[in-house]
Amino acid sequence: MNKFHFLSLFCLVLGILFLFFGFLSDEVTAGIIFILPYISGSGLFAFLGFVFIIASIFLFLFGLTIFIENEINEPEGSELKSHKKSSIKGAGVILVGPIPIVFGNSWKLAIISIILIIILIIVSFFSLRS
């Protein structure tokens, strides 16, 4: 972990505290629509809470890119590391409304992902009908 990750964690905790104080002062409300949670608010506590949480996300991503860059550019010294060729296979499906977006580097896993998402759609359709 680098300094950006610690700063990100600090901003996240600070943002959650501001939202908590917003809940206590009735400036912030929360709920669930369908299965998606939401937080809305107006006032200083809500504004500061959202700003600190968004800042923590950006700081974490910035720290992650710096960490990856340092790992790539860092020389190993005199030790010669044996590089084994490895392959990671993966696939997934993202549903954007009624449009499925299938991605992956393995056709088998992409087909399995499509089958699983069809089963999930059928199960959710029948469970929400009643």
Query: Average pLDDT of each block of 10 consecutive residues along the chain (130 residues)?
Result: 86 92 90 85 90 92 84 61 69 84 88 89 80
pLDDT at 17: 94
- Quickly list DSSP for 60-102: HHHHHHHHHHHHHH---TTPPPP--------EEEEEETTEEEE
Burial class for 21, CB neighbours closer than 10 Å (0-12, 13-18, 19+): middle
Contact 43, 19 (CB under 8 A): no
Q: Which helix (H) or strand (E) holds 30?
A: strand 28-33
Does residue 11 contact residue 52 with C-beta atoms inside 8 Å?
A: yes
Q: How far apart are CA 49 and CA 47, in angstroms?
A: 5
How far apart CA 59 and CA 65 sit, in angstroms, is 10
Instruction: Parse the chain into domains and list their residue ranges.
Output: 3-73, 91-129
Q: How are beta strands 91-96 and 36-41 bridged, if at all?
A: unpaired
Q: What is the pLDDT of residue 86?
A: 66
